[in-house]
Amino acid sequence: AGTDNGGNEGGSDVITIGFSQVGAESDWRTANSESMKSTFSKDNGYDLIFDDAQQKQENQITAIRNFIQQEVDYIVLAPVTETGWDTVLQEAKDADIPVIIVDRMVDVSDDDLFTAWVGSDFELEGKKACAWLNAYAEAKGMKEVNIVDIQGTIGASAQIGRTKGLEDAAKEYGWNLLASQSGEFTQAKGQEVMESMLKQYDNINVVYCENDNEAFGAIDAIEAAGKTVGPDGDILVMSFDSTNAGLTDTLSGKIILDTECNPLHGPRVEEIIKKLEAGETPDKLAYVDEEIFAHGADVASVTVDGKDYAVTEVTEDVI
Ligand code: AHR
């Protein structure tokens, strides 16, 4: 150890990492925390200080300040929202502690406030999902698309990108985007929001849930209202993440499309840290490749910004 980039300059064998995690709002998040914990284990030569911010930015800022006081070798931040990080990241920079951003992005005045980022292209996820819906609606002869958006946490990259994908597509394809409201990426809020949308609109035929847990809540609300989900039902449920439970619902058709968001960032963050330890410069931004999982084989592939993406039909083998 010992680099010009801050990091484990004392050269001790154990690398101390302070990880500020968003919370435990979803199955995706649980898988993400697991990936970080198993990668940065004592057996692998790390001391991981894990802080769960319970979806609150102020908790994340406090955690980062504690990590600075504890003089950790690296700070890893999974930011709840994009903005509001300049001051605390400047404090980390002044303390010469490299900051790695993971999953969602930060919107800062100076990109030198963080060392590297790895995560998903959330707008691309949204575009892929909407390109699929357009092709599916054509294949099925759907006369109109009356869609509602159960958004993620407002201001999170995952919400901003996925919502933008839908809003642009609704304009392009002439869909009726009836309502948009945050379900905070949780099952309980997803259910609550869907219940109220169903009371307001009786013509919803697609719900665009910005993650799997919201989709589970939305399905419960739809069924409790006496309506059905699925390819032959009243409402198509679209989702993001492709967790095991999400893909199980995609197999049955309860979820019609589940666009992947990959949570297994532990090894990716470790690769960045290993490069820094070796005195190398990691890529500033690294986007993860992600798949598209559908119920049925009605749409084989979609084209987004001139690039083709295969659509995988979910079978028992895929889950
Ligand atoms: O930032 C990734 C998103 O956050 C996932 O889609 C969601 O499930 C999680 O809570």
Q: Is 248 helix (H, G, I), strand (E, B) or coil?
A: helix
The residues, ordered by sequence, that sit 6+ positions from 106 with a Cβ below 8 Å of its Cβ are: 77, 79, 82, 83, 85, 89, 113, 114, 117
Residue located nearest, by CA, to atom 3 of ligand 1: 158
- Considering only CA atoms, give the Rg of the chain: 21
Which residues have C-beta atoms less than 6 Å from ligand 1?
Answer: 25-26, 28-29, 103-104, 158, 185, 211, 240-241, 261
pLDDT given at position 13: 84
CA distance 214 to 259: 14
CA of 105 to the centre of ligand 1 (A): 12
pLDDT given at position 2: 39
Q: Which two tokens stand for residue 70?
A: 């504890």
CA of 29 to the centre of ligand 1 (A): 6
pLDDT < 50 positions in the chain: 1-4
pLDDT given at position 163: 98
Count of alpha carbons within 13 Å of 113, Cβ hemisphere only?
A: 17
236: β partners: 206
Pairing of the two strands 301-304 and 292-294: unpaired
The H-or-E segment that residue 73 falls in is: none
Fold of 15-119+263-287: Rossmann fold (3.40.50)
Probe residue for ligand 1, chosen from 241, 262, 265, 290 as the CB with the greatest number of ligand atoms within 8 Å: 241
pLDDT given at position 173: 97
pLDDT given at position 7: 65
Annotated domain spans of the chain: 15-119+263-287, 122-261+292-318
Q: Is 276 helix (H, G, I), strand (E, B) or coil?
A: helix
Helices 27-39 and 212-224, packing angle to 10 deg: 160
The residues, ordered by sequence, that sit 6+ positions from 80 with a Cβ below 8 Å of its Cβ are: 22, 23, 53, 55, 56, 57, 60, 104, 153, 155, 156
Q: Do domains 15-119+263-287 and 122-261+292-318 have the same CATH topology?
A: yes
The residues, ordered by sequence, that sit 6+ positions from 34 with a Cβ below 8 Å of its Cβ are: none
The H-or-E segment that residue 301 falls in is: strand 301-304
pLDDT given at position 9: 59
CA distance 288 to 175: 29
Fold of 122-261+292-318: Rossmann fold (3.40.50)
